[in-house]
Amino acid sequence: MTKQQQYMKNLNTDQKDAVLHAKGPLLVLAGAGTGKTKVISHRFAYMTGVLKVPPTSILTMTFTNKAANEMKERIERLTGKNTDGLWIGTFHSLSARILRRDIGKLGYESDFCIYDDGDSGHIVRTILKEFKIHEALYRGIFSKISSLKASLVEPDDLLSNEESYGFDEKFARVYVRYQDELKKNNALDFNDLIMLTVKLFEKHPSVLKMYQKEFSHIMIDEFQDTNISQYRLARLLCDKHKNICVVGDDDQSIYKFRGANVGNIRNFKKDFPKVKVINLGQNYRSTQNILNVAGNIITKNTKRMPKELWTERKKGQSVFYCTTINEKEEARYISQAIKELYLKGKYSYGDIGIFYRVNQQSKAIEEVLRENGQHYSILGGANYYHKKEVKDVVSYLKAIANPHDSVSLKSIINCPPRQIGAATVTRVENEARKRDESLYATMKHIIKSNGYTASLKDKVSSFVNIIDDLIAKKRINLQDFLELIYKKTGYLKWIGDEKAKNLDSLMDAAEGKDLSGFVDIAALYSSADETYNNDVVSLMTLHNAKGLEFPVVFIAGIEDGLIPHFHAIKDPEELEEERRLFYVGVTRAQDMLIMSGTKKRKLYTSVQDQQPSRFLSEIPANCYKCIEKRPRADAIASSNVKVPAGRLNKSPFVTGARVKHPKWGVGVVRDTYGETDDVKVTVNFPSVGMKRLSLKFANLEKI
Ligand code: ATP
Ligand code: MG
């Protein structure tokens, strides 16, 4: 097979047209799952493999790291060549790369650091405090700054031309100050990365010329979400060769709050009158049932470029919508459904995505997944259980459950500060090494013996006393015990109110558990993180799901106030944006879509009564199946796979049993499941981490 044939294989006629059109501007405007991203990867392979365009001369840009990595993988699979060092990546990372080389020309240092929204938000808040502006205005001010930057309006422009932007002087001062602070910290925020690259090109034509020469071809995925600055960047770069290919879907434009400008698609035809436009109609991703739901959602939007989506795939599984009483039950429902799908054997954890509107929603879901030993990772968000304060409190629990756990003990020995500094810790550690004992045992020895200074004895004994007091009370109710830890150590006071709030969920999770069980779950989870990297359930916000696909998709919180978000409810334009966001979520699903919502939900601090999303009532009822309240999740998995718990208990390989494996040595059983004639166990081996084994084949020995 020639390379050309190889790269055209599995493409439909329209997709082939798009791949072959390598010269001049090209706009692929098409619905979800029609192969737009596929066209980009095949085009890359075709241009480098057949037309012999040097791979370093193609600039390929998208939005998220995950999407960029997927694109790289697809290209590597097609071409059989490594993509390291090529210009394939996110707008932000590629701009950062350009700036590292030449930002000196704009008066910045080339070792600048990059602030995420959390870091920059922190700066804005501090400025507001200083300017005595009410904190409640923070959100609006922060987003105004972002959209000004996305539109390439710098503080100077604002000051010289205040009237036309309609902002008051106070706001302008905040913006000026914010930009100064960033510069003082040698930091750029996400918007700066693009804005300053554009500035670099506009102020230094020689730099621009060099890149125009370097990039003979430019491709942009998810073009509907480009903002003014991103589009300007692309236009500047393609001005010499005009070989620009953009692919997008106006129905999936979901980043208006970051300045995304759907108008870029419409303007594209004006800016490049010779553009070739290709529409793709066939969806290869989803079943007919899923597309029906998607179609019924998006056709309610009034402002859209009409397009038809069709599939050759069968109707497939029904789409489900389940209502539960609260977010905890919703999480349990999702977890149970995952378990059943997993046991059926068709899907692994990596095939499953769980989406939600706001990050907060992940807490309840994470908690239940963790309890049930279902491994997950969060895309684009900090994992709650990796937060320092959560880890600290878990370390206290671990050290109390087993004071000889020196790693946990060391991590809390001076936390909150008790004047046991690094030198003292090293001293105790050296002593422990000499005596071949744990830190705890050594500290006890230090307190009792004569050969140590009074100051060392004092420091050590004040800490050991706290731990011993807690050990003596460790059998009380776990929630009360957590309160006791906080009281005795002064930990909450030390971290402050804001961070203390992060511990609320830990308190909830402790309900009804005993200390050792709880500690075990925590330990299981942290080791799972490393060993299950490739086979984990993916949790993410709907925004982060763009461009991805999963065989099984759960969308949690289909409720008014979440989707549509309460900020959007009164504004028809925002409402259309929320509908697009819902549409994006639904169209990620390949085989199964399971939506859920609750009657009551704890969000932030209060519990609210929730109504089903108004978007649901726009979908004809025969498009999905409703499940009420506490459903049997096996209604979803069509065959009844059940865990024969009674019989399993008779197996010697119960949870907690110690076992020996011929290769991996001794481990502890963490979970047991499956049919009697094919029982599977998850075992934690200190040497290799978690392993899932079938008893039929594993040659496990109970010890
Ligand atoms: P989105 O709008 O969600 O970004 P997209 O238009 O970029 O979607 P892709 O992700 O490229 O779509 O493709 C969707 C799925 O359909 C992928 O699994 C892809 O491999 C598959 N696909 C695309 N075109 C074809 C084809 N011609 N034959 C078979 N499968 C295809
Ligand atoms: Mg895509």
CATH code where residue 511 lies: 1.10.486.10
- Tokens standing for 259? 């300045």
The catalytic residue among 36, 66, 285, 370 is 36
Asked if residue 587 and residue 558 are part of one domain, the reply reads yes
Asked if residue 584 and residue 519 are part of one domain, the reply reads no
Q: If phi over 0 gives left and psi between -120 and 50 gives alpha, with beta otherwise, what is residue 358?
A: beta
Whether residue 190 is contained in a domain is answered as: no
Asked if residue 417 and residue 360 are part of one domain, the reply reads no
Asked if residue 693 and residue 594 are part of one domain, the reply reads no
Q: What is the CATH number of the domain that holds 155?
A: 1.10.10
Would you call 520 a catalytic residue per the annotation?
Answer: no
| Ligand 1 pocket residue status of 33, Cβ below 6 Å | yes
Asked whether 669 and 628 are in contact (CB, 8 A), the reply is: no
Asked if residue 306 and residue 169 are part of one domain, the reply reads no
| Ligand 1 pocket residue status of 29, Cβ below 6 Å | no
Asked if residue 302 and residue 231 are part of one domain, the reply reads no
| Ligand 1 pocket residue status of 398, Cβ below 6 Å | no
Asked whether 286 and 313 are in contact (CB, 8 A), the reply is: yes
Query: Domain boundary residue among 615, 640, 665?
Result: 640
Whether residue 430 is contained in a domain is answered as: yes
| Residue 542 DSSP symbol | T
Write down the residue that tokens 């909450």 correspond to: 492
Query: Domain boundary residue among 185, 210, 230?
Result: 185
Look at residue 564 and tell me whether its pLDDT is greater than 50: yes
Asked if residue 458 and residue 432 are part of one domain, the reply reads yes
Whether residue 94 is contained in a domain is answered as: yes
Q: What local confidence, expressed as pLDDT, does residue 703 receive?
A: 80
Atom 14 of ligand 1 has which residue's CA nearest to it?
A: 33
Mean pLDDT of the chain: 87
Asked if residue 505 and residue 412 are part of one domain, the reply reads yes
Asked whether 4 and 51 are in contact (CB, 8 A), the reply is: no
Query: Domain boundary residue among 585, 620, 640?
Result: 640
Give the tens place of pLDDT for each residue, 277-288.
999 999 999 999
d(CA 188, CA 114): 5
Q: How far is CA 289 from CA 307, 580, 627, in A?
A: 18, 18, 17
Whether residue 679 is contained in a domain is answered as: yes
Whether residue 107 is contained in a domain is answered as: no
- List the beta bridge partners of residue 550: 589
What is the domain range of residue 675?
Answer: 644-703
Asked if residue 518 and residue 417 are part of one domain, the reply reads yes
The letter for the amino acid at 156 is D
The catalytic residue among 15, 34, 37, 336 is 37
Atom 13 of ligand 1 has which residue's CA nearest to it?
A: 35
Whether residue 633 is contained in a domain is answered as: yes
Atom 21 of ligand 1 has which residue's CA nearest to it?
A: 284
For range 591-606, the mean pLDDT: 91
Burial class (CB in 10 A: 0-12, 13-18, 19+), 327: buried
Would you call 252 a catalytic residue per the annotation?
Answer: yes
Whether residue 105 is contained in a domain is answered as: no
Asked if residue 274 and residue 160 are part of one domain, the reply reads no
Ligand closest in space to the Cα of 15? 1
Look at residue 120 and tell me whether its pLDDT is greater than 90: no
Q: If phi over 0 gives left and psi between -120 and 50 gives alpha, with beta otherwise, what is residue 679?
A: beta
Q: Which of 22-31, 195-204, 482-491, 527-536 has the lowest mean pLDDT?
A: 527-536
Testing ligand 1's pocket by substitution, the residue of 7, 10, 38 carrying the most ligand atoms inside 8 A of its CB is 38
Q: What is the CATH number of the domain that holds 226?
A: 3.40.50.300
Instruction: Give 622 or 156, the one with higher predicted confidence.
Output: 622
Would you call 230 a catalytic residue per the annotation?
Answer: no
d(CA 615, CA 635): 24
Residue 544: CB atoms within 10 Å: 21
Q: What is the CATH number of the domain that holds 695?
A: 2.40.10
Total structural domains in the chain?
A: 5
Q: What local confidence, expressed as pLDDT, does residue 531 receive?
A: 34
User: Distance, CA 592 to ligand 2 centroid (Å)?
Assistant: 19
**Ranges of H-type helices in 587-684:** 614-617, 645-650
| Residue 81 DSSP symbol | S
Task: Please report which helix (H) or strand (E) contains residue 6, including its range.
Answer: helix 3-8
Asked if residue 365 and residue 426 are part of one domain, the reply reads no
Grouping H, G, I as helix, E, B as strand and the rest as coil, residue 554 is: strand
Whether residue 304 is contained in a domain is answered as: yes
Q: What local confidence, expressed as pLDDT, does residue 650 receive?
A: 53
Q: What local confidence, expressed as pLDDT, does residue 639 receive?
A: 42
Asked if residue 499 and residue 396 are part of one domain, the reply reads yes
Give the tens place of pLDDT for each residue, 410-436.
889 999 999 999 899 989 988 988 888
